[in-house]
Structure 1
Amino acid sequence: MEIKTILITQARTGSSRLPGKVLKEIEGQSLLEIHLNRLEKCKKVSEIIVATTINEEDTLIYDKAIAWGFSASRGSESDVLDRFYQAVKDKKANWIVRVTSDCPLIDAELVDKVIAFAQENEVDYCSNGFIENYPDGQDVEVFQFSALETAWKNAKLLSEREHVTPYVRNNSDYKGGNVFTAINYPCESDFSKIRMTVDEIRDFELIEILISNLGTEKSWMEYTNYIIENNLTKVNNQIIRNEGLLKSLKKDK
């Protein structure tokens, strides 16, 4: 039986720190388009879905994704877990991959490696972010559709609904839970100080430097080495990693 793996990237124009960021352009291409064109090289993904919101301003994201030849769906802005579940519930997928569209230089080969690792180990959930050694912006989560469905039915906390996977992670054996099996995809060195995600204008400026000097086709390691060799971490290393999740966790209390 063929394994069906669907990748979902969440995208919206609303952003408190940098509104409209995924449609900001570098050399005539939006960050979203660069992101999707890189993901299209994934060999282990059968379909890519852009999951945006039902907000009127996100009609543009939906329309662009379709025009570029990708699938797209629309759902709740705040209940992103529901948005993900509704996007795939009728697709008969075995595995779901979660990435976010504010990571324009996500590496397709890395995505494939995390997928293969998850499937070979037959876990419910796999991420390269339990131990945050990859650059911020190269985060990949791979989980079984059954785990997504269980989370969708049972997750109650705001942070669990808004960020899709905390319910699975927190109830996994990796975190001492007993509902899901989970594993970390390792990185041989610590690149956690490197940021290739776009939350603020400084992040955008760094991506602009990378693309104007290296183009949009390089591996995550080539971009990382360029940042290190040219001392570019200083452009945006003052920004807190996973700030959105930290805000949601505060609201849980």
Structure 2
Amino acid sequence: MYNNRGKIVATIEARMTSSRLPGKVLMDFCGKTDLQHIVERLGRSKYIDEIVVATTINEEDDPIIDLCKNIGCKYYRGSEEDVLLRVLEAAKSVEADYIVEITGDCPVTDWRHSDHIIEMFFSGEYDYVSNTIERTFPRGFDTQIFPVRILAEVNEITQNPVDHEHVSIYIYTHPEKYKLLNWKADEKMNHPQFEITLDTIEDYEFIKQIYEILYLKDFDFSAQDVVNLLIKHPHMIKSLENTDRKDPFKEQKEWKEKHEKTI
């Protein structure tokens, strides 16, 4: 527990039925799965007390449970559609007070970043701290912290399916309700055009290259190491221009407007 303030738990959302790249969380990088790498990288944190994988009751996710058992990681099985509720219940299952939310498509996540936002969170009376409110970091290094009680409140407040699919979106789109803090990247890390997330087979080949270069030299390579590598080898950099990415903010607003019209 960080200064005895309460139990800090990292939740990792993971399932086998991703629409664009099924089974991605168990894909191999240098002899270990994507999910195992994330667990091990977060496990080096100075402040995270426990890690729990938030997966679903779908039997197709049984291999995730097998992996968790093999590596000694806690897990929770919940709703496939309601990700917010799944993460909330996963956190409660290990008696968490605070959630550091990570998704299973970020195999280069950096525990140093998580520790920094934890320090920022406890530096004041904040409800939510992340490095994504304003996008300055590359995608793939997203990290955020908020109290379990806040997520429980959000679960009761909103029925918007977008809010329940994107766990913390309601919090950071309501600054009038919650005290937010954004961590802005310094000059060396300020490359929002970089994307290091595992969503397609092309992503897999890209991240596999990163692991084969960095992990074999230093298993605890940093986010800065990744960025430095991409700057040095620009031919490796993925373009965001043709990324087929949904806009959750637009979807959230559209659902709210439609719902309000029907009341």
Q: TM-score, normalised by structure 2?
A: 0.88
Structure 1 residue 3: Cα displacement? 2.4
Q: Say what the alpha-carbon RMSD is for the aligned residues.
A: 1.9
2:261 alignment partner in structure 1: none
* Contact 1:48 1:70 (C-alpha < 8 Å) held by counterparts: yes
- Hey, what's the Cα distance between the residues in 2 that align with 1:187 and 1:125? 17
> Please, which runs of 5 or more residues in structure 1 have no aligned partner?
none
Higher CA-based Rg: 2
2:208 counterpart of 1:205: no
The 5 Å alignment of 1:17-96 reads: 17-96=20-99
Contact 2:76–2:93, Cα closer than 8 Å, also in 1: no
Tell me the amino acid that sits aligned with residue 128 of structure 1. N
Question: How many angstroms does 1:138 deviate by?
Answer: 0.2
Question: Residues 153-164 of structure 1: matches in 2 within 5 Å?
Answer: 153-164=156-167
Tell me whether 1:5 sits opposite 2:8 in the alignment: yes
Q: CA deviation at 1:92?
A: 3.8
SS of residue paired to 2:9: strand
What's the secondary structure of 1:121's corresponding residue? coil
Runs of 4+ more than 6 Å apart: none
Aligned-pair CA distance for 1:238: 3.7
Name the count of aligned residue pairs.
248
Instruction: Give yes or no for the alignment of 1:167 onto 2:170.
Output: yes
Tell me whether 74-83 or 182-191 shows the greater mean CA deviation.
Answer: 182-191
Q: For the Cα contact (< 8 Å) 1:118–1:125, is it kept in 2?
A: yes
1:2 Cα deviation from its structure 2 partner: 4.3
Aligned-residue offset at 1:69: 1.0
Q: Which residue of 2 aligns with 1:194?
A: 194
**Residues 1:242 and 1:133: Cα distance change in structure 2 (over 3 Å):** farther
TM-score between both structures, scaled by the size of structure 1:
0.91
Structure 2: tracts of 5 or more residues without a match: 259-263
SS of the residue 1:120 aligns to: coil
Deviates most, 238-247 or 162-171: 238-247
